[in-house]
Amino acid sequence: MAKGLYDKAIHAVRYFLLRRLPTCKQMAPVMSESLERRLTLRERAALKLHLWVCVWCVWYLENLRTMREALRARGAREEGAADVDSAVKLSDEARERIRRALAR
């Protein structure tokens, strides 16, 4: 019985927060910025509470972190390539076509 009351109380608190916190659409840029800079205390608190309420945003933030790690690993791998000649380069013909197209 006590567990049922506890679950109901948690549900009520989450519903209360869901109605008063910023929407997912408003929190998405904050989640993205959290990977690039330190958030203010207000932003961190709002994000933590929103993530406690919204499982979809938790998944979104996990996906952002995964993409960031993958892109950084790829960038490091490309920077570490010692053989510069193996990099993809445009032919002189392709460069000239692009130059002509831009001049038009």
In the chain, what are the domain boundaries? 2-103
Whether the Cβ atoms of residue 11 and residue 19 lie closer than 8 Å to each other: no
pTM for the full predicted model: 0.63
Quick: pLDDT tens for 69-102. 999 888 887 776 645 545 567 888 999 999 999 9
What count of residues does the chain have?
104
Whether the Cβ atoms of residue 44 and residue 37 lie closer than 8 Å to each other: no
The SS3 call for residue 98 is helix
Quick: pLDDT tens for 28-48. 999 999 999 999 999 999 999
